[in-house]
Each structure stands twice: as structure tokens, then as C-alpha cells.
């Protein structure tokens, strides 16, 4: 991609997602994701109605009058975006590709974190770790993340969520807000989700196309497996073939849903033909009421 075209795409994404973040998401983001706890701020004189358990006895003895400790929520958070850039993300039957929507969601989340002065990091993965950007603060870092999402060309076609989570848990020592954005057309990542959901505040966002779940009757057609890159002929006119296709994908979807529910991790599902805004808003509001 040429530099000028890349800059135009990044700028367009910034304008759209920054506006969404400022108008809709930043407040919900703030109330949905809590800080690491309460941190000591200062002491002040005891006032009628204050909790006597907050009295600082050392300062009280020194000043010869009661003082209490004041605590504030330690707000600084770290947002980590784990993005599946395997071959299936380049698929989209009508409106847009899955990777385009994933990029837009990531930009919106990143700007929401920026508004709250939180750190933001990025991990791109396929069947390997393609790129890792350590979490830091600032607009320039968010723009770099968006640029890398827009221009990245994956080196691996298949998906290995388990490996990506193992890598993340090995380098991220403190608790973070972790979003995994993928179509989750993968299997055998139970252990990774179990460990990550205990260490971090974990949410999976499944971005899918309607043809991930349903194969139309188009007769005999040439088809490419986006995960392997292999071409072949597919008889979509065969009911058995269509049912087999549906069953294989339904199994992966149910695996994703059951695993995230069982581990207590958050879960959002977005069709590329729909608006992700309403889905994320509903998710944030649900979290904010807990």
C-alpha cells in the first residue's frame, strides 16, 4: 500500500472512530473497566460523619487531633488488543471483510482507552505471533496501532489462538483488559482462555460473515480455503456438503460460546453486515451494572 493511501485510510479511521469514542464509548468504557484498586492519596482532618476506620493513628498522635486517610481509585489501566490476522479474516461476502470491521473496532477501543489515559498495546497473530507492540500511552501510539492493522500482510494463513495467549501471558505480568478479536474458526484453545481469564479481564469479540455459518446452493464452484490457501472444487449443490459445512462451523461457534461462558470471560458477536456500535454499547452497559 502506498504511503499516501495508507495515511488517508488511517486518517479516515481516526475521524470516524474518534468521534464514536468521544460521543458514545469513553464513558461506558470508564464505568465498565475498573482500576487496579484503591491507592492512598492524602490525609485530612477528621470531619463529622467520616468512617473512624479510616483514621491514621500515627498522624493523629503527631498532630494531636484526628486525621483520616483518603484513598482514590487507581485508574490507570492497560488495554491489550489480540487480533487474528489469519487468512479467513480477509473474507467478506457483501459489505466488508471481517478484518476491516476488526480494525475499526480496535480503533474505537483504542481511542476510548486513550480518552481515559490508559496504555494500549497490540498483538497480531495467525498460527504465529506476527507483531507485538508493547502497551504505552498516547495518540501517536494509537495511530501506529491503527496503521499496522491497516497495512499488515500476514505471513501465516492459519489460526492458533492458544499460541497467541501463551505468548501474551508470558510477557504481560500485570493485570490488563484483553480483547481477542477473531472469527474463532479454531479449536483447542481451552487452556489459554482458562489461564488468561484468571489473570486478566478477558473479552472475546467474534466477528463473522453470514457465509461462515451457511453455504448457499451455487452448484459446483471453485473455492479456496482461506486458512490453508488451497484451491479445489466444491459441490454446493449437494445437501450433504452444505450440512457438513454448517455442522463443522456450528461446532466451532458452540465451542467458543461455551468456553467463554464457562470461564466467565466476556463475549460479543458481530456480523460484518451489522453495526458493531450497538453490540459494544450493550456489552459495556451490561458490565457497568454488575
Beta-bridged to residue 234, according to DSSP, are 221
- What's residue 26's pLDDT? 65
- What's residue 154's pLDDT? 73
Q: Do 155 and 225 fall within a single domain? A: yes
State the pairing for strand pair 220-224/201-208.
Answer: unpaired
Q: Do 137 and 43 fall within a single domain? A: no
Q: Do 99 and 164 fall within a single domain? A: yes
Q: Do 14 and 138 fall within a single domain? A: yes
Q: Where does 53-137 show beta strands of DSSP type E?
A: 67-73, 78-84, 119-125, 129-136
User: Phi, psi at residue 205, to the nearest 5°?
Assistant: -110, 110
Q: Do 158 and 45 fall within a single domain? A: no
User: Phi, psi at residue 152, to the nearest 5°?
Assistant: -65, 135
- What's residue 260's pLDDT? 97
pLDDT, tens digit, 9 for 90 and up, residues 36-64: 555 556 788 888 878 888 899 999 999 99
Low-confidence ranges of the chain (pLDDT < 50): none
- What's residue 16's pLDDT? 75
Q: Do 157 and 64 fall within a single domain? A: no
- What's residue 39's pLDDT? 54
Cα atoms in the 13 Å half-sphere on the side-chain side of 182? 33
Q: Do 262 and 176 fall within a single domain? A: yes
Beta-bridged to residue 124, according to DSSP, are 83, 131
pLDDT, tens digit, 9 for 90 and up, residues 63-122: 999 998 876 555 578 999 999 998 776 655 566 788 889 999 999 999 988 888 889 999
Q: Do 43 and 98 fall within a single domain? A: no
| 255-261 contact pairs (CB < 8 A, 24+) | 255/187, 256/184, 256/204, 256/206, 259/189, 259/190, 259/193, 260/193, 260/204
SS3 72: strand
Output DSSP code: residue 249: H
Q: Do 8 and 141 fall within a single domain? A: yes
> If residue 235 lies in a helix (H) or strand (E), which one and from where to where?
strand 231-235
Q: Do 15 and 151 fall within a single domain? A: yes
> Using CA atoms, how far apart are residues 195 and 209, in angstroms rounded to an integer?
29
- For the chain, what is the domain count? 2
Cα atoms in the 13 Å half-sphere on the side-chain side of 82? 35
Domain that holds residue 42: 38-73
- Which residues fall within 8 angstroms of residue 70, CB to CB, at 6 or more apart? 40, 41, 42, 43, 44, 54
Q: Do 243 and 169 fall within a single domain? A: yes
Determine how many CB atoms are found less than 10 A away from the CB of residue 76: 13
> Using CA atoms, how far apart are residues 98 and 279, in angstroms rounded to an integer?
16
SS3 65: coil
Q: How many residues does the chain have?
A: 290
Q: Do 62 and 24 fall within a single domain? A: no
Retrieve residue 173's grid coordinates.
Answer: 505480568
CATH code: domain of residue 85 = 3.40.50.410
Amino acid at each position: 500500500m502506498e504511503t499516501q493511501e495508507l495515511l488517508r485510510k488511517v486518517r479516515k479511521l481516526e475521524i470516524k472512530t474518534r468521534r464514536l469514542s468521544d460521543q458514545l464509548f469513553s464513558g461506558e468504557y470508564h464505568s465498565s473497566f475498573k482500576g487496579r484498586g484503591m491507592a492512598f492519596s492524602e490525609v485530612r482532618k477528621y470531619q463529622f460523619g467520616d468512617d473512624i476506620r479510616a483514621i491514621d493513628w500515627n498522624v493523629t498522635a503527631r498532630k494531636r487531633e484526628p486525621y483520616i486517610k483518603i484513598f482514590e481509585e487507581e485508574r490507570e489501566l492497560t488495554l491489550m488488543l489480540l487480533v487474528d490476522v489469519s487468512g479467513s479474516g480477509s473474507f467478506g461476502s457483501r459489505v466488508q471483510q471481517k478484518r476491516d470491521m476488526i480494525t475499526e473496532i480496535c480503533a474505537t477501543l483504542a481511542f476510548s482507552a486513550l480518552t481515559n489515559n490508559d496504555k494500549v498495546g497490540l498483538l497480531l497473530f495467525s498460527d504465529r505471533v506476527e507483531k507485538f507492540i508493547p502497551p504505552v500511552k498516547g495518540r501517536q501510539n494509537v495511530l501506529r496501532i491503527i496503521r499496522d492493522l491497516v497495512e499488515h500482510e500476514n505471513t501465516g494463513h492459519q489460526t492458533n489462538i492458544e499460541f497467541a495467549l501463551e505468548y501474551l501471558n508470558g510477557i504481560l505480568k500485570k493485570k490488563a483488559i484483553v480483547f481477542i478479536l477473531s472469527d474463532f474458526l479454531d479449536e483447542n484453545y481451552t487452556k489459554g482462555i482458562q489461564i488468561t481469564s484468571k489473570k486478566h479481564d478477558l473479552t472475546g469479540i467474534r466477528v463473522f460473515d453470514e457465509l461462515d455459518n451457511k453455504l448457499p446452493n451455487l452448484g459446483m464452484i471453485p473455492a479456496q480455503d482461506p486458512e490453508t490457501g488451497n484451491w479445489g472444487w466444491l459441490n454446493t449443490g449437494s445437501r450433504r456438503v452444505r450440512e457438513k459445512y454448517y455442522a463443522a462451523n456450528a461446532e466451532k461457534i458452540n465451542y467458543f460460546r461455551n468456553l467463554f461462558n464457562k470461564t466467565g470471560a466476556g463475549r460479543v458477536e458481530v456480523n460484518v453486515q451489522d453495526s458493531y456500535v450497538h453490540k459494544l454499547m450493550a456489552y459495556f452497559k451490561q458490565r457497568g451494572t454488575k
